[in-house]
Amino acid sequence: MPFGKKDDETKEAAAMSRTLRDKALSVTAAELSLAPTEARLNVWGVLMELGYPQAVATLAVFADGTSSLHISTGGGVIGAGEHTSVRDVAEKFLFAAQGLVAHFEPAGETPFPEPGRVRFYIRTFDGTLTAEAAEQELGTNHHKLGPLFHAGHAVITQMRLISERRDEA
């Protein structure tokens, strides 16, 4: 492999992940043909970002069935919402967000979380909201957003299981 080719591919993969994240934070409900429903009046999308020392993992779920996971350094899973098992838990993730909207504030900016932190972005028909907490507090249910964190991890788990089954085939 020529010198620098792997570095270029890594940079391209990271740039693609950033582009997908930016799109998830800028796409509108109208572009996805989404409207409020009786069950979910406000929320049409949720992003959960997990801060790690070397990268950030961004889970993005939308009411149109789109579910993806992007790693800031490149890579991830796109199109997982095509699978019923992912769609089912993704819907629960959206409903969990709907029930917690009151704990969020308007997102003026959309930075990545620091390592050990989890940042949520809720896409609503009135704008983008955000909240952040320590991963440890969320994981042990010592934070009001713990249920949303666990619902997001259920989506990631289903994505991982699908990837494992595909790899075994």
Rounded Cα–Cα distance for residues 94 and 44 (Å): 7
The pLDDT value given to residue 3: 46
pTM of the model: 0.92
Do 113 and 120 touch, CB atoms closer than 8 A?
no
For residues 137 and 141, give the distance between their C-alpha atoms in angstroms, rounded to a whole number.
6
| Average model confidence (pLDDT) across the chain | 91
Residue with the larger pLDDT of the pair 100 and 141: 100
- pLDDT band for 96, please (50, 70, 90 cuts): very high
pLDDT in tens, 66-87: 999 999 999 888 888 888 999 9
Q: What is the pLDDT of residues 121-152, one digit of tens each?
A: 999 999 999 999 999 999 998 899 999 999 99
Share of the chain above pLDDT 90, in %: 75
The alpha carbon torsion through 115, 12, 123, 31 (nearest 10 deg) reads: 180
Each as own residue / partner, the long-range contacts of residues 33-37 (CB below 8 Å, 24 or more positions apart, any chain) are: 33/64, 34/62, 34/63, 34/64, 36/125, 37/63
- Taking the C-alpha atoms of residue 106 and residue 117, their distance in angstroms, rounded to an integer, is 19
Q: Burial, 158: exposed, middle or buried (Cβ in 10 Å; 0-12, 13-18, 19+)?
A: buried
Length reported for the chain: 169
The pLDDT of residue 162 is above 60: yes
Instruction: Look at residues 61, 53, 22 and name the one whose alpha carbon lies nearest to residue 152.
Output: 61
Does pLDDT of 37 surpass 70? Answer: yes
E strands present in the chain: 43-51, 56-62, 67-71, 76-77, 105-106, 117-124, 127-134
Q: Greater confidence, 89 or 4?
A: 89
- The Cα 145–Cα 37 span in angstroms is 23
